[in-house]
Amino acid sequence: MNIKWSEHLTTAVSPDGYPLSELPEIAMVGRSNVGKSSLINLLTGRKSLARVGNTPGKTRVINFYNVEDKLILVDLPGYGYAKVSEAEKNRWGKIIETYLNTRKQLSAMIMLTDIRHKPTQQDIVMYQWICSMGKPHVIVATKADKIAKAHYDKHIAQIRLTLGLVPEIPVIPISSTKRLGLINVWNEIEKVVPGLEIVPDK
Ligand SMILES: Nc1nc2c(ncn2[C@@H]2O[C@H](COP(=O)(O)OP(=O)(O)OP(=O)(O)O)[C@@H](O)[C@H]2O)c(=O)[nH]1
Ligand SMILES: [Mg+2]
């Protein structure tokens, strides 16, 4: 099955706005500007389903995207954006925290980190929290087009070491601009949402 159909379902800041659907949800977690919305566009094969921005802090709410009526991709606000007030940071933090802590149909998380950089202290805290939730998760290393392929291993090793990953947790390099790694991410999603049989176009 190719992904032929996806749609923006709804936008929410608190549980009363979450969709009523009981489809399994896969959440994108990561720093502001890391490429969460771009990954949703990559996965759905849509250029601008999710809003991508040059200005960090673009996604300030939770956006839910229905894919083939089989699963929902969830675009969470990014954390770690320096140029907003403390109050705003706390508000975004609360939005992320409430979603992750309360959403029953949250099946898995994709934590994104820029392949070029060592994960930040905030990434480490976020990752520890993800681990404590005990749900399936993978790490996606974004913007892989920005480094030479020969350097992937070195950068991925740094990510593994900094986040303290156990060997079972994959780190998948992707490029939303060059459309790299798409199938690998779908393969991981299929492990937690059985029966998807999604074969994205190259
Ligand atoms: N070169 C390159 N640029 C990328 C890639 N993914 C995202 N970008 C760029 O990085 C910027 C941020 O991308 P977004 O997808 O909006 O990031 P986000 O994580 O959703 O950001 P917030 O909504 O602020 O949390 C945009 O200018 C994208 O075009 C990638 O794989 N390669
Ligand atoms: Mg975004």
Q: Does 113 contact ligand 1 (Cβ within 6 A)?
A: no
CA 53 to ligand 1: nearest atom: 16
Single pTM value for the model: 0.94
CATH superfamily of 6-192: P-loop containing nucleotide triphosphate hydrolases (3.40.50.300)
* Cβ of residue 53 lying under 6 Å from some atom of ligand 1: yes
Contact 178 CB / ligand 1 (< 6 Å): no
- Phi, psi (deg, nearest 5) at residue 92: -65, -40
What are 14-64's pLDDT values in tens digits?
Answer: 999 999 999 999 999 999 999 999 999 999 999 889 988 767 666 789 999
Atom of ligand 1 nearest to the CA of 41: 15
- Of the listed ligands, the closest to the CA of 32 is 1
Residue nearest to ligand 1 atom 13, measured at CA: 35
Q: Is the CB of 31 under 6 A from ligand 1?
A: no
What is the number of residues in the chain?
Answer: 202
DSSP state of 119: P
pLDDT, residue 38, reads 95
Rounded distance, CA 110 to CA 25, Å?
11
CA-proximal residue: ligand 1, atom 30 (nearest):
143
CA 2 to ligand 2 center in whole angstroms: 24
Distances from the Cα of 195 to the Cαs of 50, 80, 147, 170, in angstroms? Answer: 25, 36, 35, 21
CA distance 199 to 202: 9
Question: In the chain, where are the structural domains located?
Answer: 6-192
What pLDDT, on a 0 to 100 scale, did the predictor assign at position 1?
46
pLDDT in 10s for each residue of the chain, 202 residues: 468 899 999 999 999 999 999 999 999 999 999 999 999 999 999 988 998 876 766 678 999 999 999 999 999 999 988 777 888 888 888 999 999 999 999 999 999 999 999 999 999 999 999 999 999 999 999 999 999 999 999 999 999 999 999 999 999 999 999 999 999 999 999 998 877 776 665 5
Distance CA 193, CA 61 (A): 25
